[in-house]
Structure 1
Amino acid sequence: MATMRDVARRAGVSAKTVSRVFNHDLHVSLATRERVEVALRELNYVPSTLSTTFRSGRAPVMGVAVPDIADPFFGALAKAVEALAAVHGMSVVITSLGEDPAREPAIVQSLLRQSLSGLVIAPIAGDQSYLGVWAGRTQLVFVDRRALGVVADSFTEDDHAGARAATGHLVEHGHVRIGFLGDSTAIPTSRGRLVGYRAALLDAAIEYDESLVALGALDRASAAAAFSALERLEEPPTAIFASNARVTMSLVPVLRSDRRLALAGFGDFPMADMLEPSVTVIDQNPVALGTLAAQRILDRLAHPRRRYRRHTVLPVELVERASCFPTRRRG
């Protein structure tokens, strides 16, 4: 099996230059890069994972920690990280954080003890200061939610603007009794979406009614209970804004049985466009989030002294479908 020194001799360069080319260092001349790449192909060079680990002190592995890998959004995000990591000869270890914020530090630190090169995390806890001791040796990138208590890169989406657009869309269809169905305002994404919901009501001069906000929708059963609470109001909502795809999916049976109810949700999900009625959503881009996060880890590993933007907010888009066109009004 060819070694890096073999490649260096074939190309007429140093082993360090071969390493820089292999790791996509931009500070190598085009002519040198081409000679090294020819030698790599001719010798069919494959890097030794074990030697890479010993040399850097880190395994060529990215970690991914998300609330629930079964959630379509986080599943797509993790798959995007895997795809880019594979191109660069890295493997990926994925874990679900669950719903208990108190368990996050133990789960994440157990993952980090594997000497990862980097970690992509969508946190559930309100404080990540426990990661301070790891930040110096492991590249940390937050997705969907910003880091709290530790300095790290983050890629999020515009929760406020998305919720404002979805709620405003329901207002445009004539609704003034619009319910907000979500999980917990302790979660930054939900908190931002509730603020966006309220902003849309203010835009339309509709008074905010706290009774129309139902939280605690963490799974199908609790979402059904939260929706039932809205249904029991003396003046129930004629439309619902669901704060995430999991909550929206829990409402599909209700939507199909009661076409009087309009629905818009934050986050697309599989077959949302094929249901009857199809569901209006704020379209996120988990693939872009995962790809950007993985690329940032690779970039920081290759160029540790380069300056990068710490926080990047990705835009979201309203996708109008039939669920905002009920066959008849309630009441």
Structure 2
Amino acid sequence: MITTRDIAERLGISVSTVGRALSDDARISEETKFRVRQAASEMGYVGNRAARMMRGASSNVVALVIPDIRNSFYSTIAHELSKNMEAEGFQLMLSETDDDRMVELRHLRELSANRVAGIIIVPTARPHSESVKLLKAVPHLQLLRRHPLLGAQWFGVDDREALRQATAHLVAQGHTHIAYLGGPVELPTGAERLEGFRTALREGGLTEDAGTTELGPPASVEHGRQAVRRLLEGRKAPTALALGSIQLTRGVLEELSERGVKVPEALSVVGFGDEPGFSWWGPGLTTIGLPIQEMATGCALWLMRRLKTTPGNDGPYTSVSPGSLVLRGSTAPPDGRSPSRSR
């Protein structure tokens, strides 16, 4: 393995001069820095980052802590963040918690021990008290979900307005029995989306009896399938569905396809998120588009600025991006037929 001593012997200079040149020390001339870097590249030298971290330096790694990489929102935002970070000389590291606060804690312990430069986190519903302490010691921000104990820096979507628009669209078409499938209210996103659904019913002059709710794990495709199965096989099947997560949307679409339910003739559907396949599923899925690129760019720019400023100089910061209702062919006025009998 090539060391700084090997480079020093080749160039006939001291080991300390090589070290300073590689760390861009102002005391070393640009000519010497160029010679050292050229020799290092030719000889295949790889810097010992662990040694530098032991001397108190942080890494150039930024961690993204998310519940589930299978969710296209998280995988797409990870891709966008990675590109933004790379442009600034940082590397993105991914940690997956499966919405388990103890897994979240283990990841945060390891990230802290490795002195990551910063953390972008989609927190669990009830982060462990040690997780809160660990995050306070490193530059971080919350993405999509916001927990009051984890700081005042947050980038999210206007979840309430997104579901209000989706449900209002169905109400405007004349639906009076609408079901909402979403995540648990313990998650701030789940609570906001449910409130948006109920707000649209009230604004449309409908009672709460007009809306049926099925709440469960937002990352579960199977929950989406089971929930829509229960709704279609119930005594009074809804004429429209408003969905509150990408994975639930996948499950619902799979179940409807297998059952041969005619959309929108027998059942209108508004999904959540806009995966590439949603545009050509059935008649094309009307859905809530999410501002993924805007959020990723905003997160990256804020964190890069934070890493370049003196700790403690950053105040509270909130960025709320609007979703957008993407209209396609999966919604229509109700015709009174039962979707459970439509094959």
- C-alpha separation in 2, matches of 1:187 and 1:136: 21
Query: Sequence identity of aligned pairs in percent?
Result: 24
Whether the 8 Å CA contact 1:180–1:214 is kept in 2: the answer is yes
Q: CA deviation at 1:53?
A: 4.0
Q: How does 1:1-331 map to 2 (within 5 A)?
A: 3=22, 4-5=24-25, 9-10=29-30, 50=49, 53=53, 57-127=57-127, 129-209=129-209, 212-217=212-217, 218-256=219-257, 257-259=260-262, 260-304=266-310, 306-325=313-332, 329-331=336-338
Q: CA deviation at 1:329?
A: 4.4
Q: What secondary structure sits across from 2:150 in the alignment?
A: coil
The higher radius of gyration belongs to 2
Whether the 8 Å CA contact 1:65–1:119 is kept in 2: the answer is yes
Per-residue Cα deviation, 1:91-128 (whole angstroms, up to 9, x for no partner): 12101111434432223323332211101111123236
- C-alpha separation in 1, matches of 2:200 and 2:48: 53
Per-residue Cα deviation, 1:224-248 (whole angstroms, up to 9, x for no partner): 2211222233221100001011111
Whether the 8 Å CA contact 1:283–1:318 is kept in 2: the answer is yes
Change (3 A) 1:69 1:311: same
Change (3 A) 1:184 1:128: same
- C-alpha separation in 2, matches of 1:128 and 1:292: 27
Counterpart of 2:12?
Answer: none
Unmatched 5+ stretches in structure 1: 12-38
- C-alpha separation in 1, matches of 2:215 and 2:122: 21
Whether the 8 Å CA contact 1:104–1:125 is kept in 2: the answer is no
Aligned length: 304
- C-alpha separation in 2, matches of 1:157 and 1:244: 13
Q: CA deviation at 1:49?
A: 7.4
Deviates more, 1:111-120 or 1:1-10: 1-10
Counterpart of 2:9?
Answer: none
Q: What secondary structure sits across from 1:89 in the alignment?
A: coil
Counterpart of 1:25?
Answer: none
Q: CA deviation at 1:63?
A: 0.6
- C-alpha separation in 1, matches of 2:27 and 2:168: 61
Change (3 A) 1:88 1:232: same
RMSD: 3.0
Whether the 8 Å CA contact 1:166–1:264 is kept in 2: the answer is yes
Deviates more, 1:99-108 or 1:221-230: 99-108
Unmatched 5+ stretches in structure 2: 1-17, 339-343
Amino acid at match of 1:318: L
Amino acid at match of 2:103: R
Normalising by structure 2, we get a TM-score of 0.79
Q: CA deviation at 1:135?
A: 3.8
Whether the 8 Å CA contact 1:128–1:148 is kept in 2: the answer is no
Change (3 A) 1:108 1:74: same
